[in-house]
A and B are shown apart, each in its own frame.
Chain A
Amino acid sequence: MIDQKTLNKYDPIKNKAYQLIDDEGKPLDKVWKPRLSDEEILQAYKDLLFARTADLMAVSYQRQGRMYTYPPNLGQEAIHIAAGIVTKEQDWLVPAFRELGAWLAKGVSLKEVFLYFKGTEDGSRFEKANRVLPIAVPIASQLPHAVGLGYAINYNKEKDAAVFAYVGDGGTSEGDFHEALNFAAVWNAPVIFVIQNNQFAISVPLKMQTKSINLAIKGMAYNVPSLLVDGNDFFAMHEALSYAREQAVQGKGPFLIEARTYRTGAHTTSDDPSKYRTKEEEELWADKDPLKRLKGYILHSKIDELKEEEKLIKQYKTHIDSEFEAAEKHPEYKIEDVFGYMFEELPDELKRQKNAYENYLRGVK
Chain B
Amino acid sequence: MKVMNLVQAINDALDIKLKEDKGVVVYGEDVGVEGGVFRVTEGLQVKHGADRVFDSPLAESGIAGTALGMAISGMKPVIEMQFDGFSYPAFNQILSHISRFRNRTRGKYSVPLVIRIPYGGGINALEHHSESPEAYFGHTPGLKVVIPSTPYDAKGMLIAAIEDPDPVIFMEPKRIYRAIKQEVPQERFSIPLDKAKVLQQGEQITIIAYGAMIREAQKAIVIAKQSGYSVELIDLRSIWPIDRQAISQSVRKTGRVLIVTEAPQSYGPAAELISIVNEEAFLSLEAPPTRLTGFDTVIPLPLGEKHYMISPERIATEIERLIKY
Decide whether A and B are members of one complex. yes
The residues of A with any CB-CB pair to B shorter than 8 Å are 121-122, 124-126, 133-134, 136, 138, 141, 143-153, 155-156, 175-176, 179-180, 182-183, 186, 341-345, 347-350, 352
Chain B residue nearest to A176 in the complex (CB): B61
Which residues of chain A have C-beta atoms less than 8 A from B194's C-beta? 347-348
The 7 closest A-B pairs by CB, nearest first: A148-B69, A144-B65, A152-B73, A179-B62, A148-B66, A349-B241, A344-B165
Question: B68: CB under 8 A from chain A?
Answer: yes
Question: B64: CB under 8 A from chain A?
Answer: yes
Q: Given A155-B51, A156-B73: A141 and B92 within 8 A (CB)? A: yes
Near A by CB (< 8 A), chain B positions 101-140 give 101-110
Judging by beta carbons under 8 Å apart, are B106 and A144 in contact?
A: no
Judging by beta carbons under 8 Å apart, are B106 and A124 in contact?
A: yes
Which residues of chain A have C-beta atoms less than 8 A from B110's C-beta? 344
Complex partner residue of A147 from B65, B92, B104, B244, CB under 8 angstroms: B65
Instruction: Please give the distance in Å from A362's CB to the nearest CB on chain B.
Output: 20
Near A by CB (< 8 A), chain B positions 191-210 give 194
Judging by beta carbons under 8 Å apart, are A182 and B57 in contact?
A: yes
Which bucket holds chain B's interface residue count? Answer: 35 or more
The residues of B with any CB-CB pair to A shorter than 8 Å are 25, 51, 56-57, 59, 61-62, 64-75, 77, 89, 92-93, 96-97, 101-110, 141-142, 144, 165-166, 194, 240-242, 244
Instruction: Please give the distance in Å from A91's CB to the nearest CB on chain B.
Output: 13
Instruction: Kindly state the separation between the CA atoms of A141 and B144 in the bound complex, as whole angstroms.
Output: 22
5 contacts between A and B (CB under 8 A): A145-B69, A151-B66, A156-B73, A175-B89, A182-B59
Q: Given A144-B65, A343-B142, A348-B244: A179 and B59 within 8 A (CB)? A: yes
* 20 new A-B contacts at CB < 8 Å, known A179-B62, A342-B103: A126-B108, A136-B97, A144-B62, A146-B69, A147-B66, A148-B65, A149-B69, A152-B70, A152-B75, A179-B59, A183-B59, A183-B62, A183-B66, A186-B56, A341-B103, A343-B142, A344-B110, A345-B165, A347-B144, A348-B194
Q: Given A145-B66, A148-B73, A348-B244: A138 and B92 within 8 A (CB)? A: yes
Q: Given A124-B105, A343-B142: A182 and B92 within 8 A (CB)? A: no
Instruction: Kindly state the separation between the CA atoms of A345 and B160 in the bound complex, as whole angstroms.
Output: 14
Which residues of chain B have C-beta atoms less than 8 A from A148's C-beta? 65-73, 77
Judging by beta carbons under 8 Å apart, are A147 and B69 in contact?
A: yes
Instruction: Please give the distance in Å from A364's CB to the nearest CB on chain B.
Output: 17
Q: Given A152-B75, A348-B241: A179 and B104 within 8 A (CB)? A: no
Which residues of chain B have C-beta atoms less than 8 A from A344's C-beta? 102, 110, 165-166
Complex partner residue of B93 from A121, A122, A144, CB under 8 angstroms: A144
Q: Given A141-B93, A349-B242: A176 and B102 within 8 A (CB)? A: no
Which residues of chain B have C-beta atoms less than 8 A from A175's C-beta? 59, 61, 89
Which residues of chain A have C-beta atoms less than 8 A from B64's C-beta? 144
Instruction: Kindly state the separation between the CA atoms of A2 and B259 in the bound complex, as whole angstroms.
Output: 66
Instruction: Please give the distance in Å from B45's CB to the nearest CB on chain A.
Output: 15
Judging by beta carbons under 8 Å apart, are A152 and B74 in contact?
A: yes
Which residues of chain A have C-beta atoms less than 8 A from B56's C-beta? 183, 186
Instruction: Kindly state the separation between the CA atoms of A343 and B102 in the bound complex, as whole angstroms.
Output: 7
Judging by beta carbons under 8 Å apart, are B142 and A347 in contact?
A: no
Which residues of chain B have C-beta atoms less than 8 A from A186's C-beta? 56-57
Complex partner residue of B57 from A183, A349, A352, CB under 8 angstroms: A183
Instruction: Kindly state the separation between the CA atoms of A153 and B73 in the bound complex, as whole angstroms.
Output: 8
Q: Given A343-B142, A347-B194, A348-B244: A149 and B72 within 8 A (CB)? A: yes
